[in-house]
Amino acid sequence: KAGVTQTPRYLIKTRGQQVTLSCSPISGHRSVSWYQQTPGQGLQFLFEYFSETQRNKGNFPGRFSGRQFSNSRSEMNVSTLELGDSALYLCASSWGSQSSYNEQFFGPGTRLTVL
């Protein structure tokens, strides 16, 4: 089985722009979660989607949003980019929702740099 894929792998944007990141989960996985990883804040949960519904959301401003499609692929969008949004954005998929005991499988991440 192919693993979790994320595109693009690297992005450079300027302040005020918006960006869309894409995640394709492992085939058959219905849950997709997004995390932000920075040296200062570590790994922080952004949100989880399960069967096209947002099940949970972390403590991030409304500029961060996401969606999931019927094929379980997910996108996250960040509008009005700020310098502090520079981070590695990780996507993880699992067969069940985070309400289950299933472990998550992570993609390689998208490295976003905001100038």
Partner 1 sequence: AQSVAQPEDQVNVAEGNPLTVKCTYSVSGNPYLFWYVQYPNRGLQFLLKYITGDNLVKGSYGFEAEFNKSQTSFHLKKPSALVSDSALYFCAVRSTNSGGYNKLIFGAGTRLAVHP
Q: Which residues are near partner 1 by CB under 8 A?
A: 4, 33, 35, 42-43, 45, 48, 55-56, 58, 90, 92, 97-99, 101, 103-109
Residue 18 or 27: the one with the smaller Cβ distance to partner 1 is: 27
At closest approach, how far in Å is the CB of 55 from partner 1?
Answer: 5
Q: How far is CA 4 from CA 7, 17, 42, in A?
A: 10, 27, 21
At closest approach, how far in Å is the CB of 91 from partner 1?
Answer: 8
Residue 79 or 98: the one with the smaller Cβ distance to partner 1 is: 98
Residue 83 phi, psi (nearest 5): -55, -35
At closest approach, how far in Å is the CB of 22 from partner 1?
Answer: 15
At closest approach, how far in Å is the CB of 57 from partner 1?
Answer: 9
SS3 track for 27-94:
CCCCEEEEEEEECCCEEEEEEEEECCEEEEECCCCCCEEEEECCCCCEEEEECCCCHHHCEEEEEEEE
